[in-house]
Chains A and B, each alone.
Chain A
């Protein structure tokens, strides 16, 4: 079995050989490695993606909008996710939904959007073909599918998630009160000890 170093290096070179610039190829190497580390089929997806690159199946990259509607060709997941990553602070500032109507190999979006999640400090959700993914600050992801993953989807939606808590105020307060039971009440003797609060103002 190949090491993740080998996977990254081989995919970076393969990307360069397929016409990408070195800077983009570096991003691709890290993308495939990241998918494989997460247990997702990075190499297989990248392998299939390169066939589409060869067949000139993708639209030219352009500025990412909230509605990205392409009529003739598919959106490239690498170019799209790089453009989102580079502009993530702007694109996700209002938690708007970013839609693409035709996206090839949407699995390849995950690693760079996970890095974007880390930069903006918010979780990011991706949904396509009944697959829901939540990206957590480039630390982990939650996904509701073991695959197979589509080579193309008619709609992919990407949205940063508000940082509303997933718990009630009471639940947290109860836990906090419980945590106080690990503290020790200070007696008169302790209060007059070294560095003790009350005597510091004398």
Chain B
């Protein structure tokens, strides 16, 4: 692997934001070496896993405490498993009871801590946590898989692999909270810890622990059901079980509300692609790694089951793309800058799904180049919050013309371009999307109509003295303050803005979810409507006792 810099520049430029930041493209991203599930396992693979407390009754209800430790540092997950009537089981955010609830604790909890949390964690949003707790979650059983596995094990046989591979998990989480929510520790309290220098590290840790809990719970329950005959779940089957997740619109505004963070995520991916395309001489071994993971991915796609017409089209498009690609790849020449040639061909001949799938796959042979980028995916957003009021109106106009050219021609007087509004639901305590002309509440619209409001800023700024300052402009244009801030951010962080109208009639919010979830490392996207979807996390990931041996190739392990 040799990289060549021309005049201190990479062999190729970064892809422009105008090409990448369209929602249809962002909604075609796939997991990669930069995904947070994978960087979590890389970071913590050498930590020691322990079960600190195992206190489940014969039905599998009670408490378990797990820990991950290295030297004097420890993190623990406290799990509370409860009886739940079938009629009470709901994945919706408005649910009040769950099969199990979880809290990630900073250190090893005392029995007093466990008791305090037992009174609060099962209540989730209605309970309170403290700065000693780092993340909070709850999950419901996939009743059909859970019962099938328990019953099979209790009868002394392993569960049906084909059945399990179609579902892929025993439990679905319905929310994972962190960063100060419900009294949890604020981000700044832990921001200087080296092991947490990646986005959503704690949330990923929590979900990883939850997966272990689900496996322990089925083993325990089966044993209690039939002590003389029950067997343990085979590791090969357990490893292929992940954690499901139901995700609704609440997650979509995150990527709009955190522009500089979004930039860091996209920039890391773009830098990774640039580094790989700039490799001058590609070895046979590197090509073999790519080829192997491509083959395994195609095999695993058979387990991607969905009823969503939208996703079926996307999945079929990807399969079609890969068929064309394989034919090309088999005859591709051994030339310098091989991956650059591959990328140029792919970008010309494949759909968004295929392009971004291959981009993810191209990173696989290059751990040393790509993995360090995962430490560049966080940012202190407050450092970029303050508006520089001394900037001239003419400069703001220029920034908009340079970075938001696409929206200047959009007519926001037309109904179809403003038909939706984002709001915070009183009932569901989460962001939602509704039709402005059919539903009440648009007076409480959230500041997510970025394109419309930046167009308004552009119109207003064109009407003032070009030499006047932002300080003067904002004295009378307070409604535009939030977009002025974004425009100034976008000047420094070009990947900070989705280049699509998020209130248009044609908006597909599921694309916003897909973008975020791909960075998490989710697979098996299964939209249940335009507004929510199910995914799977950690399927194929090493079990805790195998973490030390992980080579980061687990997302491609054959699932059957």
Contact = CB atoms under 8 A, between A and B. Distances in A.
* A joins B in a complex: yes
Interface of A: 1-6, 13, 20-24, 26-27, 30, 61-63, 82-83, 85-90, 115, 119
Interface in B362-392: 382, 385-390
A74 B188 CA distance: 36
Given A23-B478, A23-B480, A24-B478, A87 B471 contact: yes
A5 B481 contact: no
Given A6-B181, A63-B475, A90 B385 contact: no
Given A6-B180, A63-B472, A119 B478 contact: no
A62 B478 contact: no
Contact of B485 (A3, A4, A20, A23): A23
B180 A21 contact: no
B127 interface: no
A4 to B, nearest CB: 5
Nearest to A91: B471
A86 B470 contact: yes
Contacts of B475: 61-63, 83
Contacts of B386: 85, 115, 119
A4 B180 contact: yes
B328 interface: no
Contacts of A3: 131, 180-181, 183-186
Nearest to B389: A86
A23 B482 contact: yes
Interface of B: 130-131, 179-188, 382, 385-390, 424, 446-447, 469-472, 474-475, 478-485
Given A3-B131, A22-B447, A86 B471 contact: yes
Contacts of A21: 478-482
Contact of A83 (B186, B188, B390, B471): B471
B389 A1 contact: no
Contacts of B387: 85-86
8 closest pairs, A vs B, by CB? A23-B481, A5-B180, A86-B389, A3-B180, A23-B482, A86-B471, A87-B471, A22-B447
Given A5-B186, A23-B484, 4 more contacts: A22-B446, A23-B478, A82-B474, A87-B390
Nearest to A1: B183
Contacts of A63: 472, 475
Contacts of B182: 6
Contacts of A85: 386-387, 389
A61 B478 CA distance: 11
B276 to A, nearest CB: 37
8 contacts: A6-B180, A21-B478, A27-B481, A62-B475, A83-B471, A87-B390, A90-B390, A90-B469
A20 B470 CA distance: 19
Contacts of B447: 22-23
Nearest to B385: A30
Given A23-B480, A23-B484, A30-B382, A5 B179 contact: yes
Q: Which of A24, A26, A86 has the most CB of B within 10 A?
A: A86
Contacts of A82: 474
Contacts of A2: 183
Contacts of B187: 5
Contacts of A1: 130, 183
Contacts of B481: 21-24, 26-27
Contacts of A86: 387, 389, 469-471, 474
Nearest to B476: A61
Contacts of A90: 390, 469, 471
Contacts of B185: 3
Nearest to A33: B186
Contact of A4 (B186, B389, B479): B186
Nearest to A4: B186
A5 B482 contact: no
Contacts of A13: 424
Nearest to A89: B390
Given A1-B183, A5-B186, A86-B470, A26 B389 contact: no
